[in-house]
Amino acid sequence: MASCIFSLSYGNSKANGTKPVYYVEWGIQSFGFETDLRNHTQGQAFCLSVFDHWAIVPGDSLDKAILLRASST
């Protein structure tokens, strides 16, 4: 079942021994993954997301044409 869910658009998967646990340590598209996982397993599976890295966004961060929303603190 899990390999079917991963193959939708998230990449490859590999079972961890004989246990029904899938350990994914490469980057996968996380938006919508948890919803797909819960829908396909009828709520019996869950995922754990861990932050991987920061990346520099291309462009000028001081560009006055970019409008920023006020933070809601």
Q: Has residue 53 been placed in a domain?
A: no
Would 10 be classed as within a structural domain?
Answer: yes
- End-to-end CA separation in angstroms for the chain: 42
Q: What is the pLDDT of residue 63?
A: 83
What domain range includes position 10? 2-40
72 domain residue, yes or no: no
For residues 4 and 40, the model is more confident at 40
Question: Is residue 62 assigned to a domain?
Answer: no
The answer to whether position 18 is within a domain reads yes
CB 16 within 8 A of CB 23: yes
pTM for this prediction:
0.40
* Angle of CA points 37, 41, 44, to nearest 5°: 100
Kindly report, residue by residue over 14-60, the tens digit of the pLDDT. Answer: 555 666 666 666 666 667 878 888 888 888 887 777 777 788 878 88
What's the structural domain count of the chain? 1
pLDDT of residue 6: 53
